[in-house]
Amino acid sequence: MTQQKKLETHQLHFVLIPFMAPGHILPMVDIATLLARQNLKVTILTTPLNAVRIRATIKSEIRSGSTGLHLQLFKFPNAEAGLPDGCESFDALPSTDLRFNFMKALFMLQKPLEQIFEKLNPAPTCVIYDPYLPSAASVAKKFGVPGITFDGTNCFRMLCDHNLRSSKVHEEDVASDENSSEQIIIVPGLPHKVEFKRSHLHLFFNITTKLNVEYREKVWEAEEEAYGVIVNSFEELESEYLKEYKKVTGKKVYCVGPVSLSIKDNMDKSQRGNNIDSNEEQQHNEYLKWLDSWPERSVIYVCFGTLNCVPPEQLMELGLGLEATKRPFILVLRGGYKRDEMEKILKEDGLEERVKGRGLIIRGWVPQVLILSHAAIGAFLTHCGWNSTLEGISRGVPLVTFPMFSDQFYNEKVIVDVMKIGVRLGAESSMNYGEEDGYGVKVKREKLKEVIEKVMVEEEEESETIRERAKKLAEKANKAMEKGGSSRLNMSVLIEDIMMQKQQDIGLN
């Protein structure tokens, strides 16, 4: 029977299913908290060990009043896929060779997800899923729930890849010799001329294995079948690319970022992505005290993300470049990849002892949002992961770019060519995950010193222009997330669209 009333927001149930890697989970949790603040029921589906990383954030959000936020766990098929126990996240793999086993595990998730969906109460109104989890898309389709994709990239990257796929220009005149990776590809149908080396395109355009082809097709299918797309970006950042992407795909696109700006409290910033204990909290306080001791815009922050596999010899060369700048710096070393080899090189060289007091070398996870929010940070040397890029943009920090793989070369173009808020370090060779051996040293210490000067010397016109652009862009980013801002409005539009879909399904008017 048709009821003469409208749905209330508390009758909606959003289910979010992130890909198991920090760069995908963290922004999706931020989106979940933003939705929960709108009087919605929101459920995040993930595995037990991934839940450890986000539980503190969820508890804090519930304490602040978002009582509709929930966490639902499912078992990751480690044994069935040939993975060691504890490998429930891409960054937890002890060897990059296991990435194919991890991919196999992703194909096995449909049954455990279906079992959860059958028990969810109320039934999901909308599923926000990462397209790199094709099983999630299949479950949404089976249960007849509108699916919306979120993969943590931007409109620029999505439009580039869409146009490459539809035009197949990347398949034309493929050189058969060893220099094919250097072939220049001009992406058609963009507001501005954009060209890439073939090796700088997304991994899906440079596939070499059958399993990767199968996975790619499933991911693209998940994207195409979705009702809409959520983007961790803001309209003022890439309006032309947003407009064109909507036009060529016909999809609803909701720019709701930068979602990391939803975190206001310093303790929440400190715990984002890691359930810290009292000792870690004290360590974070020490980082802030150290930053407090330096003038505004004087410290170089260097971090290459959770999946970085920069070879130790290249990291060491960058460390020596930081030493040569004579400026204070923070250098973050990933805890896992070739850790012993890196520690051996550091010890033999004595870098850490020589820069003591002026340079902090941190092992493992750091509270990046908290660090970037500090006034002492004057430049951010980044791998150009989109989360890191946006976190730098949101805080008005000039960027120095060192991309390695995936969407990172795309993001470098946004930083340097579109927004002009940073400078390339000169990393011209891609360093695909699992194929790092043989990369060697591509960027010398002298180059790092030169580039740092371009963004940090106060009296230089170029650096002043970059800093001013970065500051203005940060103001736009923050305004987008405030009441009446474009991203806040887009979040409301998303909820209204899903409400209308639900009303049509149950015959309300």
Residue identified by tokens 């459920």 is 43
- Count of the separate structural domains present in the chain: 2
Residues 227 and 307 in one domain: no
Residues 295 and 349 in one domain: yes
Q: How far apart are the first and last CA of the chain?
A: 12
Residues 234 and 295 in one domain: no
Q: Give the domain CATH number at 388.
A: 3.40.50.2000
Catalytic hit among 13, 30, 130, 407? 130
Distance, CA of 126 to CA of 378 (rounded, Å): 41
Taking CA 396 as the corner, what is the angle to CA 394 and CA 397, rounded to the nearest 5 degrees? 110
DSSP state of 384: -
CA-closest candidate to residue 432, choices 201, 232, 180, 266: 201
Say if CB 305 and CB 402 are below 8 A apart: no
Distance, CA of 206 to CA of 200 (rounded, Å): 9
Is 292 within the bounds of a domain? yes
Show the low-confidence residues of the chain (pLDDT under 50). Answer: 1-5, 176
Is 268 within the bounds of a domain? no
Q: Residue 477 to residues 150, 252, 333, 390, 395: CA-CA distances in angstroms?
A: 19, 21, 29, 9, 9
Is 289 within the bounds of a domain? yes
Say if CB 419 and CB 439 are below 8 A apart: no
Is 155 within the bounds of a domain? yes
Residues 341 and 215 in one domain: no
Distance, CA of 321 to CA of 453 (rounded, Å): 12
The pLDDT value given to residue 183: 86
CA-closest candidate to residue 200, choices 424, 408, 454, 489: 408
Residues 430 and 494 in one domain: no
Residues 223 and 285 in one domain: no
Contacts of residue 126, defined as CB under 8 A and 6 or more positions apart, other chains included, come to 12, 13, 14, 15, 145, 146, 147, 148, 498, 501
DSSP annotation string for 126-164: EEEE-TT-HHHHHHHHHTT--EEE--S--HHHHHHHHHH
Residues 224 and 363 in one domain: no
* Residue 143 dihedral angles phi and psi, to the nearest 5°: -90, 5
Is 87 within the bounds of a domain? no
Say if CB 412 and CB 496 are below 8 A apart: no
Residue identified by tokens 């195409």 is 224
**pTM for the model:** 0.92
Q: Residue 380 to residues 236, 319, 415: CA-CA distances in angstroms?
A: 22, 14, 12
Is 417 catalytic? The answer is no
Distance, CA of 502 to CA of 127 (rounded, Å): 13
Residues 242 and 347 in one domain: no
Q: Which amino acid is at 500?
A: M
How many beta carbons lie within 10 A of that of residue 15, not counting itself?
29
Task: Find how far residue 120's CA is from the centre of its chain.
Answer: 28
Asked if residue 312 has a cis previous peptide bond (ω within 30° of 0), the answer is no
Q: Residue 318 to residues 153, 336, 397, 457, 476: CA-CA distances in angstroms?
A: 27, 19, 20, 19, 32
Is 337 within the bounds of a domain? yes
The pLDDT value given to residue 504: 78
Beta strand pairing call for 329-333 and 69-73: unpaired
Say if CB 74 and CB 37 are below 8 A apart: no
Beta strand pairing call for 195-197 and 184-186: antiparallel
Residues 359 and 374 in one domain: yes
Is 102 within the bounds of a domain? no
Q: What is the pLDDT of residues 397-426, one digit of tens each?
A: 999 999 988 799 999 999 999 999 999 998
Q: What is the pLDDT of residues 122-180, one digit of tens each?
A: 999 999 999 999 999 999 999 999 999 998 999 999 999 999 999 988 887 655 455 66
The pLDDT value given to residue 220: 93
Residues 50 and 158 in one domain: yes
How crowded is the C-beta side of 195, counted as CA atoms within 13 Å?
A: 7
State whether the Cα torsion 26-27-28-34 is positive or negative.
positive
Q: Residue-wise over 27-49: b if at least 16 C-beta within 10 A, else e?
A: bbbbbbbbbbbbbbbbbbbbbeb
Is 130 catalytic? The answer is yes
CA-closest candidate to residue 113, choices 51, 45, 52: 45
The pLDDT value given to residue 335: 65
The CA dihedral of 73, 142, 506, 12, to the nearest 10 degrees, is: 20
Residues 224 and 327 in one domain: no
Say if CB 11 and CB 39 are below 8 A apart: no
State whether the Cα torsion 336-338-344-345 is positive or negative.
negative
Element (H, E) at 401: strand 399-401
What is the residue range of 447's domain? 279-478
Is 99 within the bounds of a domain? no
Residues 414 and 438 in one domain: yes
